[in-house]
Structure 1
Amino acid sequence: MDEQLDRFHGVAYLLGALAHASEKNLGKSSHSICMLAGKKFGREAVVDVEQTDDPEKAVKLLKEALEKRGIVWDFEPFLGERDELMEKRDGTEVMRIVFRTCMVRNALFRYAHEQKESMCYMAHGVFAGAMEKVIPGKKVNLEILHAGPNACLKEMILEDA
């Protein structure tokens, strides 16, 4: 177990270093590059996934599909002080999602690199690309509301594709 943990820490450190280097060399354009790479990975990560037009069900289906691929990512809809999970805003549908366990956050903390940068955008891309397979006909994006050491709160924004 210790050997596996050491390997994980090594990979986490390497990912943090790569993210840091890309941001130094490419600046903010590293965000869009990482988002696109993540979207491609996300689309390929979920195969034969059930599709739905219900965003709440889609979040559950996506989490299950990722777990089948060995990707453990603890996220769920977050109601908070709202009366409804879904909010209509400027022709879009918006749902808040809390991300608790996050491999990206763990990698960033291991390397001592800040959140809300290129690695987070890659994770956003993975989520969005995979979710677009679960909810066909929708373009999916994530916006960070809060990034913290124990969880991140984000808005999933759904637009007609």
Structure 2
Amino acid sequence: MKLNEIRPATGSRHSKKRPGRGIGSGLGKTAGRGHKGQKSRAGGFHKIGFEGGQMPLQRRVPKRGFNSRKKGETAEVRLSDLQRLQSDTVDLAALKAAGVVPQPALRAKVILAGEIKRKVALKGLLASKGARAAIEAAGGSVEPPVPAPAAGRLKAKSAGGPAAPAAN
């Protein structure tokens, strides 16, 4: 065997098909597109799901539910997570720094899952009834978050009351 006699194994290589290059190619004339119609033309594209003007399936089927935009705002914190934290005072910033709560979370709620045996003071965190009882039983305290005033929602009434209608 010589280098110039080496050939690929039989059937391992085949030339790619070149549509529209004569009847001998097997894909001549219509080039595998069939006769006439939108799909045979150049640029004969229609959007996915298009059914020729008939109401498409995706629009015929009724829709249900929605994805809440507030879903990721409140993070859940287990009592066992609080047990593992080093600090005695826990707030949202401390939970984010420890990696217990994701950074985008706007608030956190402690739930009754796991055990807590040490004294912990929660500042500005929500807590379920069971979690609050467990923390207080361990000698800790829970300071609920102060609700922020609705910015710009309520306007102070003027001293004179409602304005009188203009005379014509």
Answer 1 or 2: higher relative contact order, Cα 8 Å, separation at least 6: 1
Q: TM-score, normalised by structure 1?
A: 0.24
Structure 1 or 2: more helix by fraction: 1
Q: TM-score, normalised by structure 2?
A: 0.23
Structure 1 or 2: more strand by fraction: 1
